[in-house]
Each structure stands twice: as structure tokens, then as C-alpha cells.
Structure 1
Amino acid sequence: ATAGTRKIVSATNIAETSSTIPGIRHLVDPGLSKQAIFDPQTGMTTLELTAISQSSATQR
């Protein structure tokens, strides 16, 4: 971004492994992640919104 403008970053679990973005001072992180959960009763996998761990939040 040019000088005097803001960068907006939405943190995801992908942000844990990606490279650092220069110039970021603040980050908004909802603390949630979609996890693939297998239900043996139905035999299906669904995406469920779950809270992330403290270590994941720190790494983001």
C-alpha cells in the first residue's frame, strides 16, 4: 500500500503458514477456524466452525 493508506488483513489458518506481510501493525482475528469433522454415524465429513487454540492465535 502507498504511504498514508491502511492494509486490511483477515487472518485465517492459512495465515499461520504464509510469509509475513511488511507494514502490518494491527490484525483482526476472529479466533475461529473451519475444521473438517468426520461423523461415523452418518459416514460424512462436515466443516464446522471451531475456536482456535492459543498457540494458533499467537502464530497467526
Structure 2
Amino acid sequence: MTDSGAVLPWLVIRQDGNGNCYRVGRYATEAEAQKIADALDGRGHQRLYWVERVGRTAR
């Protein structure tokens, strides 16, 4: 839970061209997180975006 009391178990993760991973944001639903990841991935940069649930291991 966050300080506001909302549960945000879905993460959007970004991997850059050097293999470094960064958390982009946390979201309430998988669909919401996937929508953000798809929009960011569609920009054409050499970055990889994916969605994972909090507590699961990264790629």
C-alpha cells in the first residue's frame, strides 16, 4: 500500500540500451500498466518496456 491507501501492484519497467532497468510507474490494474507501456514503447526509441506485478522477479 502507498501512503494514500491505494494499492498499486502493477509496475511499468523500462530497460535502456545499456541494460539498465528503471521503474516508470505503478498502476492499479494490469490493463492500465500495459496501456502506458504500449504508448511508451510506440515512441520508437531503443528502450524496452514491460509490465510486471510487484513481488515478481524482473526479466
Which has more strand, going by share of residues? 2
Larger Rg: 1
* TM, length-normalised to structure 1: 0.26
